[in-house]
Amino acid sequence: MAEDRIVGRNAVAEALKSGSNISKIYVLYSTHGGSLNEIYTIAKRHGIPLARVDSKQFGELTANLSPGESAQGIVATVSKIRFEPLDSLVESAARKKYPFMLILDRIQDPQNFG
């Protein structure tokens, strides 16, 4: 699945607070202090995995940053698609007057649907 990246301490902290669909947070080994404690606390509360990475791995994660953009030792991956558990979807549909659910599988190209 395709993922976007959020870089920088403030951006990652704000994404966590806003409920963004963060799948994992990567922190450079040498990064510490500042807002990291808050980020760790919120991530743990939401069950978001944290990975400490070396400079080579971190370089791969930040290879496509714009000139002048700084990751400040932290990168979060964000899923472009928000997944919902099936039981939650069924429960939500059941509350509607005319419930409707369409389930598609193995659609590779959205143009193939429709």
Write out the chain's pLDDT in tens, 114 residues. 467 889 999 999 999 998 888 999 999 988 877 788 899 999 999 999 999 999 999 988 888 887 777 788 999 999 877 677 888 888 888 899 998 888 777 777 766 676
Helix then strand count (H, E) for the chain reads 4, 4
The rounded distance, in Å, linking the Cα atoms of 75 and 27 is 7
- Domain containing residue 49: CATH number: 3.30.1330.30
Contact assessment for residue 7 and residue 62, using Cβ atoms and an 8 Å cutoff:
yes
Question: Whole domain around residue 24: which residue ranges?
Answer: 3-83
Instruction: Write down the pTM of the prediction.
Output: 0.68
For the record, the structure tokens of 107 come out as 């659609």
Q: How many CB atoms lie within 10 A of CB 45?
A: 9
Query: Scanning the structure block, which residue is given the tokens 């040498």?
Result: 30
Please state the domain count of the chain: 1
